[in-house]
Amino acid sequence: MLPNQIATKHLKKDKVLRPVIRKTTLNQYARSKSCFNALVKSIVSQQLSVKAAASIYGRLEALLKHRITKKSLLATEHDVLRSVGLSNSKAQYVKNVALFFNEHKLTDKKIIALTDEEIIQKLTQIKGVGIWTVQMMMMFHLDRPDVFPIGDLEVRKQMIKLYAVKTEGKVMLHDLEVIADRWKPHRSLACIYLWSHES
């Protein structure tokens, strides 16, 4: 997702975000081949640094000869998947995604036709796929412009620091939602600036 003039101009109305935008070079994110691949990549990334996730995903690609498909994942034994660095649960979760896409005959075309809320409702039925996992797919594969992954630790950390948020727990989450409301309908780009911003 690249910034466009309209989105950037809108986000610069936020006086706190404006200097962040001016001095930040956006990280570049590789686009996945499909919604399926994006979900698998997102599962690999759960609770890992960008570098660690990229390393494990690279080993998974090498293992499957750069063809991470429903068929190849389902045909690979659990322990073999674990050998590339996937945890016990993640090795099962990627297979869960493959099974779900097969059973529901899901394609990118079918997923693209859904609203953001419908995509989250549909795909979080898969064990191991939470809201954050789906949101990463929506942002970096579907280019949905108004995703706010409040479950992302780095997004919360940056917002708390930049906006001097002093509250905690549910009140803090509510306060972050209120701040992010200023960025609508371009919350995805705002979050990419937060990820790219050096604190």
Predicted confidence at residue 29, as pLDDT, reads: 80
Residues 6+ away with beta carbon under 8 Å from 166? none
Predicted confidence at residue 2, as pLDDT, reads: 57
Give the helix, strand, coil percentages of the chain, each rounded to 5. 60, 0, 40
Is residue 65 within 8 A of residue 171, CB to CB? The reply is no
Rounded to whole angstroms, how far apart are CA atoms 180 and 199?
19
Identify which of 134, 80, 71, 56 has the alpha carbon closest to the alpha carbon of residue 101: 71
As a three-state string, the secondary structure of 38-70 is HHHHHHHHCCCCHHHHHHHHHHHHHHCCCCCCH
Give burial (CB, 10 Å; 0-12/13-18/19+) of 65.
exposed
Rounded to whole angstroms, how far apart are CA atoms 27 and 80?
32
Predicted confidence at residue 3, as pLDDT, reads: 63
pTM: 0.89
Is residue 162 within 8 A of residue 16, CB to CB? The reply is yes
Rounded to whole angstroms, how far apart are CA atoms 168 and 71?
45
Spell 155-185 as b/e; 16+ CB within 10 A means b.
bbebbbebeeeeeeeeeeeebbeebbeebee
The list of the chain residues with pLDDT below 50 reads none
- Compute and round to an integer the Cα radius of gyration of the chain: 18
Structural domains in the chain plus CATH codes: 5-26+148-196 (1.10.1670.40), 35-140 (1.10.340.30)
